[in-house]
C-alpha cells in the first residue's frame, strides 16, 4: 500500500502534546520541541515565525513544521515521544485548563507514542481532512491528504470518527484505516512493508512489530535502528549529506519574480510571457495543477523554492514538470511528485527534459508514484537531491546525453531497472548513495543497443535487490 509522507509528522506531534495535558494552569507549556536534524520552523498564535531552539516550549495556537530535508522530535515527558517526518506541518490548540488538546494535521507524517494512557478528564484529538482521531494510550502513525487520511496503530487502539457525520470505528493494533471523502472506512491489516522508514527507524517500532508477530525480514532489508546505523535514514536527512545548499550563482543577471500563491504561479506560466532571464521565487506550501507544468524554450530560467515548496499534480496521467528546448534551466529547493490516492497508478514521470541545454536540479526531492523520476534527452546535473519511490525507474535517457549525479541519493525505487539509457548515454555518480532499491537490475539499455557508460566515484551501493 502506498504511503503518504505528509501526514505522519502531524500525528506524532499530537501525541506529544496530549501527554502533557495534565497542566491545569493552562498557562505553562507542557509540550516541548526537542530537536531537528535539519531546518524546522515554529510560529506563534499570530503566525509570527520564532527563533527555534532545542527544548523550547510550545503553546496553544503555535504551529510547527519541517523542511523537505528534516525530521523533528518532540516530547512532553519521558513517557511520551513524537517524531515528525520531512515536509510536515501541524497546528496546536489547547484548552485553558490544559486537559484537552487538538492537533490540526495540515501536512506531513508523524510517529506518536503515548506510553501512559490519558486520564479520564483528558483528551487528545487529531484532526485530518476526513476524520477525527481520538488518542488515549497508543502508538502508531497517521497520514493526511486533501481527499483521504490513513491511520495505523502499532500498539493500543484509537477511536476514528468521519467528519462527514458518517461512520465511527475502533481501530486496533496491527490495523490501518483509510477514509476518503464520501466513502466509508476501509480497514485492513498492515505489514512491515507498509511502515514508513522514518517510523521503522525508531527503536520502539521494532519491538512493537515483534510483539505483533510481524516478520521484520519482510521489510526492505534488515531493519536497523537509528542508533545502530546513522546512515540508514531517509534520503532527505541532512546527516546523509543533503542539507539544502546555497542557490547556485552563474553570474547571469535575472529579473526576480516573487510568486504569491499557486494561482499566480499557474497564471505566470500560462501567460505566454517570455520568461527568459527570470528567477521565479516560490514560497512555502503547495503548488498544485491538474495537468502539470511546462517550461518553454526560454533561456536562463530559475525556479527557486525554499525546501518546503511542493510542486505536485493530482493526475497520475500527467508529468509534474516538463521542459522542451530550454537553455540554462535551474530547479532549486523543490519537492516534486504526484499527489494521488494510494490505489491510483501513475502512467507518467515526474520531470522531463527534451531538447534542452544545461539543466540543473539542486536541492530537490523527486518522489513517486511517478513512473520515472527523470526522463531526458538532454544533459542534466542533479546535485544534493533525492530520487525515491518511483514505480518503474529512477532515470531514463532517450539520446546520447549525460546525467550527472553529485552528492545525491537514489532510494526505494521499484521497477525492472533503476537506470535505463539510450545508446551513447552516460551516467556519472560523484559522492552518491544508491540504496534500498527494489529493481531487478541497476542499468539497462533503452533498446537492443549497448548499456550506457557508467562512472562511479566515491559512491555507495547497499541493500539493493540486484546485489
- Shortest CA distance to 150 belongs to which of 115, 118, 202, 185? 185
Strand 131-135 to 157-162 pairing: antiparallel
- Beta-carbon count within 10 A of 68 CB: 27
Sign of CA dihedral 187, 2, 75, 18: negative
CATH code at 15?
A: 2.60.120.1440
Query: What residues are paired with 461 via a beta bridge?
Result: 434
Average pLDDT, the chain: 81
Tell me: do 229 and 268 sit in the same domain. Answer: no
Tell me: do 227 and 352 sit in the same domain. Answer: no
User: Is the backbone of residue 229 left (phi > 0), alpha (psi -120 to 50) or beta?
Assistant: beta
Q: Which domain holds residue 169?
A: 7-238
Is residue 282 exposed (0-12), middle (13-18) or buried (19+ Cβ within 10 Å)? buried
Name the grid cell of 117.
494512557
Tell me: do 234 and 256 sit in the same domain. Answer: no
Cβ–Cβ < 8 Å for 319, 342: no
Residue-by-residue pLDDT tens, the chain, 467 positions? 333 222 333 333 444 444 444 443 333 346 789 899 888 889 999 989 999 999 898 888 888 888 766 789 987 655 567 888 877 888 888 888 878 888 887 877 888 888 777 777 877 788 888 888 888 778 899 887 767 788 999 998 888 898 877 678 888 889 998 888 777 888 888 888 888 888 988 888 888 888 888 866 654 443 333 333 333 333 333 334 467 889 999 999 999 999 978 888 888 888 888 999 999 999 888 898 888 888 989 999 999 998 888 899 988 889 999 999 999 999 999 999 988 765 567 889 999 999 999 999 999 999 887 789 999 999 999 999 999 989 899 999 999 999 999 999 999 888 899 999 998 899 999 999 998 898 889 999 987 767 889 999 999 998 898 98
Tens digits of residue pLDDT in 403-432: 999 999 999 888 899 999 998 899 999 999
Please list the helix, strand and coil fractions of the chain in percent, rounded to the nearest 5, in that order.
10, 45, 45
Q: Could you give the 3-state DSSP secondary structure of residue 287? A: strand
Residue 266 belongs to a domain? yes
- Shortest CA distance to 175 belongs to which of 196, 192, 154, 202? 154
Tell me: do 19 and 163 sit in the same domain. Answer: yes
Cβ–Cβ < 8 Å for 374, 404: no
Tell me: do 224 and 330 sit in the same domain. Answer: no
Residue where a domain terminates, one of 238, 253, 282: 238
Residue 467 belongs to a domain? no
Cα-based distances in Å from 166 to 132, 162, 182, 183, 287? 12, 5, 9, 9, 31
Domain total in the chain = 2
> What pLDDT, on a 0 to 100 scale, did the predictor assign at position 344?
67
Cβ–Cβ < 8 Å for 433, 409: yes
Tell me: do 110 and 213 sit in the same domain. Answer: yes
Cβ–Cβ < 8 Å for 308, 279: no
Tell me: do 64 and 187 sit in the same domain. Answer: yes
Residue 1 belongs to a domain? no
Residue 363 belongs to a domain? yes
Tell me: do 255 and 208 sit in the same domain. Answer: no
Tell me: do 154 and 69 sit in the same domain. Answer: yes
Residue 2 belongs to a domain? no
Tell me: do 180 and 320 sit in the same domain. Answer: no
Tens digits of residue pLDDT in 280-327: 999 888 898 888 888 989 999 999 998 888 899 988 889 999 999 999
Cα-based distances in Å from 37 to 14, 73, 80, 95? 20, 9, 20, 31
Name the grid cell of 289.
495543477
Tell me: do 192 and 332 sit in the same domain. Answer: no
Tell me: do 194 and 271 sit in the same domain. Answer: no
Strand 56-58 to 31-36 pairing: antiparallel
Residue where a domain terminates, one of 176, 211, 238: 238
Amino acid at each position: 500500500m502506498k504511503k503518504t509522507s505528509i501526514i505522519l509528522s502531524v500525528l506524532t506531534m499530537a501525541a506529544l502534546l496530549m501527554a502533557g495535558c495534565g497542566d491545569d494552569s493552562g498557562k505553562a507549556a507542557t509540550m516541548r520541541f526537542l530537536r531537528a536534524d535539519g531546518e524546522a520552523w515554529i510560529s506563534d498564535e499570530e503566525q509570527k515565525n520564532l527563533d527555534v531552539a532545542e527544548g523550547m516550549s510550545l503553546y496553544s495556537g503555535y504551529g510547527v513544521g519541517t523542511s523537505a530535508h528534516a525530521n523533528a522530535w518532540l516530547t512532553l515527558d519521558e513517557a511520551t515521544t513524537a517524531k515528525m517526518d520531512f515536509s510536515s506541518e501541524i497546528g496546536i490548540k489547547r484548552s485553558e485548563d490544559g486537559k484537552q488538546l487538538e492537533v490540526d494535521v495540515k501536512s506531513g507524517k508523524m510517529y506518536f507514542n503515548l506510553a501512559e494512557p490519558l486520564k479520564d478528564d483528558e483528551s487528545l484529538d487529531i484532526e485530518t481532512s476526513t476524520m477525527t482521531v481520538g488518542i488515549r494510550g497508543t502508538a502508531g502513525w497517521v497520514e493526511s491528504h486533501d481527499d483521504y487520511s490513513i491511520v495505523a496503530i502499532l500498539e493500543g487502539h484509537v477511536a476514528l470518527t468521519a467528519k462527514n457525520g458518517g461512520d465511527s470505528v475502533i481501530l486496533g493494533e496491527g490495523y490501518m484505516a483509510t477514509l476518503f471523502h464520501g466513502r466509508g472506512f476501509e480497514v485492513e491489516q498492515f505489514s512491515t512493508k507498509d511502515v514508513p522508514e522514518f517510523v521503522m527507524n525508531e527503536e520502539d517500532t521494532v519491538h512493537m512489530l515483534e510483539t505483533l508477530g510481524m516478520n521484520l525480514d519482510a521489510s526492505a532489508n534488515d531493519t536497523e535502528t537509528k542508533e545502530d546505523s546513522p546512515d540508514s535514514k531517509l534520503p532527505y536527512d541532512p546527516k546523509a549529506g543533503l542539507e539544502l545548499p546555497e542557490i547556485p550563482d552563474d553570474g547571469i543577471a535575472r529579473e526576480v519574480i516573487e510568486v504569491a500563491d499557486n494561482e499566480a504561479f499557474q497564471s505566470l506560466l500560462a501567460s505566454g510571457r517570455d520568461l527568459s532571464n527570470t528567477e521565479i521565487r516560490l514560497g512555502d506550501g503547495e503548488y498544485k495543477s491538474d495537468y502539470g507544468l511546462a517550461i518553454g524554450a526560454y533561456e536562463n530560467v530559475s525556479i527557486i523554492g525554499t525546501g518546503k515548496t511542493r510542486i505536485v499534480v493530482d493526475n497520475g496521467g500527467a508529468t509534474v514538470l516538463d521542459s522542451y528546448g530550454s537553455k540554462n534551466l535551474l530547479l532549486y529547493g523543490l519537492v516534486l511528485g504526484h499527489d494521488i490516492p494510494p490505489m491510483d497508478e501513475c502512467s507518467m514521470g515526474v520531470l522531463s527534459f527534451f531538447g534542452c541545454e544545461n539543466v540543473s536540479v539542486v536541492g530537490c526531492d523527486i518522489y513517486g508514484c511517478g513512473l520515472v523520476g527523470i526522463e531526458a534527452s538532454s544533459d542534466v546535473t542533479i546535485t544534493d537531491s533525492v530520487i525515491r519511490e518511483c514505480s518503474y525507474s529512477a532515470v531514463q535517457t532517450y539520446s546520447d546525453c549525460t546525467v550527472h549525479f553529485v552528492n545525491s541519493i537514489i532510494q526505494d525505487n521499484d521497477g525492472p531497472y533503476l537506470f535505463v539509457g539510450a545508446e551513447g548515454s552516460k551516467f556519472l555518480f560523484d559522492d552518491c548513495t544508491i540504496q534500498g532499491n527494489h529493481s531487478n537490475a541497476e542499468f539497462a539499455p533503452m533498446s537492443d543497443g549497448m548499456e550506457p557508460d557508467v562512472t562511479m566515484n566515491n559512491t555507495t551501493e547497499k541493500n539493493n535487490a540486484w546485489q
